[in-house]
């Protein structure tokens, strides 16, 4: 039947979706990091006296964004072991 899939179909789907997952996550992370740094630079230009606080908050946000990318890579490596 067309609806039934075996292990080969599961492996084929993983082979397609794992790289796609990593690509989407990397693209989203790049957009988020660019927006975060851009906003921090604009805020620093508006209030130079608050530059240190802005930098600290920007770095905390960038760490969380990068953590999402790292988690995605861990899941991708885990799933690629099943291919």
pLDDT of res. 3: 60
pLDDT of res. 33: 95
Going 46 to 50 to 51 to 56, the CA torsion angle's sign is negative
Give the confidence band of 50 by pLDDT, cuts at 50, 70, 90: very high
The dotted CATH code for 14-80 is 1.20.20.10
Domain ranges of the chain: 14-80
Q: What percent of the chain has pLDDT over 90?
A: 69
- pLDDT tens digit sequence for 65-82: 999 999 999 999 998 887
For residue 27, give Cα distances in angstroms to 2, 5, 22.
34, 31, 8
């Amino acid at each position: 039947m067309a609806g039934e899939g075996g292990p080969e179909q599961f492996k084929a789907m993983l082979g397609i979706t794992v790289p796609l997952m990593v690509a989407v996550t990397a693209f989203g992370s790049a957009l988020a990091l660019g927006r975060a740094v851009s906003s921090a630079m604009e805020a620093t230009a508006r209030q130079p006296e608050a530059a240190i606080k802005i930098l600290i908050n920007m770095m905390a946000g960038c760490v969380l964004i990068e953590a999402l990318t790292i988690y995605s890579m861990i899941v991708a490596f885990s799933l690629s072991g099943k291919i």
